């Protein structure tokens, strides 16, 4: 019985140590989440203004065309997937990867029909183990990524669509709602035929373009697509930290519950041991009388 009680005390200590770690990780994730949210929100005005300018050119100028605005027969599709480099984030990675694999199985009969651009070590390792066609990858992003960190993969994906290597480009990421809710999302990024219309029927501003609307559109459209990718990465990072904070919070609560149950078990074992000792003493006294 003494050995059993000693094992219970050792287990309680182990769970207490684990609870300290998960509590610290929860607090760190909460602190980083605020910064990630601020950065994601700060990037939105730029992307919104860029969308307004691009929409104004595409909708207000007759005869302006660009490969990124024109739909063509789909022979090969590219997917850009945003995942994390580390785990302990609940279902953050599993949800988006499950959605991606189901989509690929539904839309494509062969792996030759698509290619994958992957951000994050978890996504890369998952897809590589299953021999999915990964053409480019980026790992080890910081918790506050800069545009320069993902510029190469964003430029490559957009450029290869523009040159006709791929006929569609989708971006797969977790859209941040709040700390406990992240929605796995797959959006078609290219072609941007939907950008030809604005959310409002009337033009919000009048622009003059030099040297020409076509020239400005040729520069802005790739930048706009890259900005959307960067915005999805920031959203994904906020989602990752929110999922991690929630997961560590749940782990801390579960540890506290387990400690309570172990202490109850320990007290019962201790009470049983004391009762047994008293019984043995009484029995010995009766035997001598």
149-163 residue pLDDT tens = 999 999 999 999 989
Q: Above 70 in pLDDT, residue 278?
A: yes
Q: What is the pLDDT of residues 176-225, one digit of tens each?
A: 888 888 999 999 988 876 454 444 444 456 667 777 777 777 888 888 89
Lowest mean pLDDT among 128-142, 209-223, 224-238: 209-223
Q: Above 70 in pLDDT, residue 26?
A: yes
Q: Do 71 and 193 contact (CB within 8 A), yes or no?
A: yes
CA gap 10, 153 in Å, rounded: 49
Give the mean pLDDT of the chain.
87
Strand order in the sheet with 114-119: 134-138, 114-119, 77-82, 168-178, 181-190
Look up residue 136 and give its DSSP letter: E
In this structure, the strands spanning 168-178 and 181-190 are antiparallel
Partnered with residue 77 across adjacent β-strands are: 114, 168
Q: Sign of the CA dihedral 18, 23, 28, 30?
A: positive
Give the chain's domains with CATH numbers.
2-20+249-288 (1.10.287.80), 27-246 (3.40.1380.10)
């Amino acid at each position: 019985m003494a050995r059993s009680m000693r094992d219970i005390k050792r287990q309680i200590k182990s769970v207490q140590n684990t609870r300290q770690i998960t509590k610290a990780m929860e607090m760190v994730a909460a602190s980083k989440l605020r910064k990630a949210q601020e950065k994601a929100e700060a990037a939105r005005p730029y992307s919104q203004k860029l969308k307004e300018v691009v929409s104004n050119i595409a909708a207000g100028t007759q005869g302006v065309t660009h490969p990124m605005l024109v739909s063509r027969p789909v022979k090969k599709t590219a997917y850009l997937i945003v995942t994390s480099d580390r785990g302990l984030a609940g279902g953050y990675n599993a949800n988006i990867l499950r959605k991606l694999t189901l989509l690929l199985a539904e839309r494509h009969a062969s792996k030759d029909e698509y290619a994958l651009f992957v951000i994050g070590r978890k996504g890369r390792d998952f897809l590589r183990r299953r021999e999915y066609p990964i053409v480019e990858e980026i790992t080890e992003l910081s918790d506050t990524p800069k545009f320069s960190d993902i510029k190469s993969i964003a430029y490559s994906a957009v450029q290869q669509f523009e040159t006709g290597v791929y006929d569609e480009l989708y971006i797969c990421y977790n859209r941040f709602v709040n700390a406990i809710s992240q929605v796995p999302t797959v959006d078609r990024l290219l072609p941007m035929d939907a950008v030809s219309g604005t959310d409002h029927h009337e033009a919000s501003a009048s622009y003059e373009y030099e040297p020409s609307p076509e020239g400005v559109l040729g520069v802005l459209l790739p930048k706009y697509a890259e900005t959307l990718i960067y915005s999805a990465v920031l959203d994904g990072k906020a989602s990752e930290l929110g999922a991690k904070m929630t997961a560590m919070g749940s782990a801390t609560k579960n540890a506290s519950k387990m400690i309570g149950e172990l202490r109850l078990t320990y007290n019962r074992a201790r009470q049983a041991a004391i009762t047994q000792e008293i019984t043995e003493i009484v029995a010995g006294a009766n035997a001598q009388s």
